[in-house]
Amino acid sequence: MFKDYNMNQVVLPLDLEVKLQENDIAFHIHHLVESIPDEAFKVFLRNTGCPAYHPRMMMKIILCAYSQSVFSGRKIEGLLYDSVRIMWLAQGYQPSYRTINRFRVQPEVSELIRQCFVQFRCQLVQEKLIDQEAIFIDGTKIEANANKFTFVWRKSVEKYNKGLIEKSNQLYNELLEKEIIPQMEREDEEHL
């Protein structure tokens, strides 16, 4: 015997938030973007033409896609149809890849994404979702056995935290140069 499966059955839309786990990254991205002051989005306000997608929504889908290592506008557009977390962040809207690319190349957006990239880590630390001492992307190793040489010096950790913002900016620049810009250029060439 099989479970009931009928494609002709009418199905009402479901709130996608129910499908996400309690600690899903989409919630953290949502809170991060919602914490940005409204003044940062005043630049995008236009009184003529067709109403634009809200910049908060666009920021959320771009940041969520970046967190999943998706940098192509076409692939981000594909996630709007396939990924439950991005569908929830977009609240049913489905901007085209051209709209996504036009949005993220604006100088104001580039700077906003850079700031979010750095701020996201700070927010995760404040909410105690990640441990400050556990994030070492510079190859620091800590031995497992307990002897007097296995601890990390406090000054070393503080120095590392001060340099973390600089390192985050550097990593974002590398990501921009090696992944995001080449993907957007490829899509522009295909469009012509």
Are the C-beta atoms of 144 and 52 separated by less than 8 Å? no
Chain segment 117-160, per-residue pLDDT in tens: 777 766 666 677 666 555 444 444 444 555 555 445 555 656 66
Number of domains in the chain: 1
- The residues near 142 (Cβ < 8 Å, ≥ 6 apart) are 150, 151, 152
- What is the tens place of the pLDDT at every residue in 43-65? 777 777 777 888 888 999 998 89
Does residue 45 lie within any of the structural domains? yes
Residue 101 reports pLDDT greater than 80? yes
Q: In this structure, is residue 179 part of a structural domain?
A: yes
What's the rounded mean pLDDT across residues 26-33? Answer: 86
**Residue 143 belongs to some domain of the structure:** yes
Domain that holds residue 162: 16-191
In the chain, what percentage of residues exceed pLDDT 90? 6
Residues 6+ apart with CB under 8 A from 172: 113, 114, 117, 118
Do 61 and 68 form a contact (C-beta atoms < 8 A)? no
Q: Taking the model in full, what pTM does it have?
A: 0.69
Q: Would you say residue 133 lies in a domain?
A: yes
Any domain includes 76: yes
Q: Is residue 59 part of a domain?
A: yes
Residue 6 in domain = no
- Segment 83-106 mean pLDDT: 87
In a domain? residue 5? no
Query: What average pLDDT is seen over the chain?
Result: 76
pLDDT confidence of 78, banded at 50, 70, 90? very high
What is the pLDDT averaged over residues 67-71?
Answer: 85
Average the pLDDT over 105-111 and give the result. 82
Q: What percent of the chain has pLDDT over 70?
A: 69
Is the Cβ–Cβ distance between 89 and 64 less than 8 Å?
A: yes
